[in-house]
Chain A
Amino acid sequence: MPTLKILVVDDEPGIRGGVSRILRNFRVDYPFMEEAFDFIISEAATGEAGIQVIESNRPDILLLDNKLPGIQGIEVLEYIKRKQLSIIVVMITSYASLELAVKATSDGAYDFIPKPFTPQELKSSIENITKRVFLRKMTTRLHDTGKQIRFTFLSVLSHELKAPLNAIEGYLKMIRERQNGANLEDYDNMIDRSLERIRGMRSLILDMLDLTRVESGKAKRNLEELDLSQVALTAMDTMRPYAIQRSVTLKLLHDGPMLLLADAEEMEIIFNNLISNAIKYNIEDGKVDCYIERHEGCMQIKVVDTGIGMTQGDIEKIFDDFVRIKNDKTKNITGSGLGLSIVKKLIEQYAGKIEVVSTPDQGSTFILTLPIDKPCL
């Protein structure tokens, strides 16, 4: 188990002992960490003694009181800054010294724990720092191996997964505290919103699985002669209940079978995403037309909707991971922001391309071109 060294510098034995007791059996776990972290605590009663420990047995984390008998905490902090030591410093302060806190922050203090603190406050601060230490190490390592992009992706993902959890947790707490009184009906909205967030999270997880599949590459690809019009029809049938609910008419236009050598699951992912987007970002009584046409050496799929449309600026962003266009019109539409990024990655693997034409308030057209002779890279 990896261990982080924590040094507590405080002239009050009670605080030092308290910190040691609270953190002695504390472990920090994180979904992306393989192992839990634990801690070794050392103590110093003065800033001078603290600096000695820093020099002889460098801690990862320093919990630092400012009011010390000899040199002040802020001077210890300046020492660390001057020597450019990579130690994460948390100031233990009381509210009275807010000005000091500002100064400490500009000298590189990472966090503050107000005095007196609860064990929970200390633990959550240490937990955040541990994650930071871990991620900092990971960043360096990933950077070295050229996996920075993957890492950025993971950190955004963790945000995307946490947001719905926080929302649901918040509602549950409000319900537990009976904030709207004793009637269960008065909590219906909170319950509905929680369920909606859970749905969103589930679709994110499903999209994640698709993306993992796409990125893990060709190994599992199962190429067969497919009739794309059948794939499109299945996708439309799956989506029809949703379309009816939104009063959107779906239409498939093609001339006979549209054969292409491709992986059935991957083609399903493409059609599902494009058609569900066309319904989602449509208007009441809108239309979605899906054309499949054979051209010289390639297959062209066009999904045309009469929806809310996008600006040129929006179009430039929509194929990136986790991008969702946020404006008044899209406010109540949920999604993971991964769908189009998955579609684009898939199409590239078939040496195809995707283009978008869109006018705000009139609709969007997604045009896919897939080569017939050269089925995939």
Chain B
Amino acid sequence: MKPSNYTILIVDDDPDYLIQAQARIKGFGYKTITAEGQKEAEALIEKMRPDLAILDLMMENEDSGFILCYKMKKRYPDVPIIILTGVTAETGISFDIQDDNNRRWIKADLFLDKGIRTERLREEMENLLGKK
């Protein structure tokens, strides 16, 4: 399928990051839809089903990304989810994604660092969309 047939949901509470991520992903040819936080995203997925979601980890609360991920997987089990992190890997004290128990209930398909290179992000997205 052509990228333009896919709609990518991007959720981040930093409006600037949202603009930039959107530009990046539009550049790959995908359609995008954005939400500025967990609550907005929850309202959005009531109305539409994205083909892939990219969620920030820390939004309203430090675990907003995880909770949103959980709710999305419950509603749309087949929609792949990428969680973007920045905090966890560096401080090692926030929500620990290496923890087995956390991993079990956080059903994200992929964790990526926010600083990921554009090309690699494109590959990871193609990979996840291709698997469906």
Query: Residues of A with Cβ closer than 8 Å to B?
Result: 95, 98, 105-106, 108, 110-111, 114, 121, 124, 128, 131-132, 135-136, 139, 151-152, 155, 158-159, 162-163, 166-167, 170-171, 174, 179, 193, 197, 326, 331
Contact = CB atoms under 8 A, between A and B. Distances in A.
Nearest to A131: B90
B17 interface: yes
Given A124-B115, A159-B58, A159-B87, A193 B94 contact: no
28 contacts: A95-B123, A98-B127, A108-B98, A111-B89, A114-B120, A121-B117, A128-B89, A128-B113, A132-B89, A132-B92, A135-B91, A135-B92, A135-B93, A139-B92, A139-B93, A155-B90, A155-B91, A155-B93, A158-B91, A162-B86, A163-B17, A166-B114, A167-B16, A170-B17, A174-B20, A179-B23, A197-B16, A331-B36
B2 to A, nearest CB: 22
A110 B27 CA distance: 30
B14 interface: yes
Contacts of B36: 331
Given A105-B98, A106-B103, A331-B36, 12 more contacts: A111-B89, A132-B89, A135-B91, A151-B93, A155-B91, A158-B90, A166-B114, A167-B16, A179-B23, A179-B27, A326-B59, A331-B15
A96 to B, nearest CB: 11
Interface in B56-109: 58-60, 86-87, 89-94, 98, 100, 103
A108 B100 CA distance: 8
Contacts, number: 69
A197 B113 CA distance: 21
B117 to A, nearest CB: 8
Given A95-B127, A139-B92, A174-B23, A167 B103 contact: no
Contacts of B103: 105-106
B111 to A, nearest CB: 9
Contacts of B117: 121
Nearest to A105: B103
A331 B18 CA distance: 13
B123 A136 contact: no
B14 A167 contact: yes
4 tightest CB-CB pairs across the interface, nearest first?
A: A167-B16, A155-B91, A170-B20, A132-B92
A158 B89 CA distance: 12
Interface centre among B37, B89, B91, by most chain A C-beta atoms within 10 angstroms, is: B91
Contacts of B20: 167, 170-171, 174
Contacts of A128: 89-90, 113
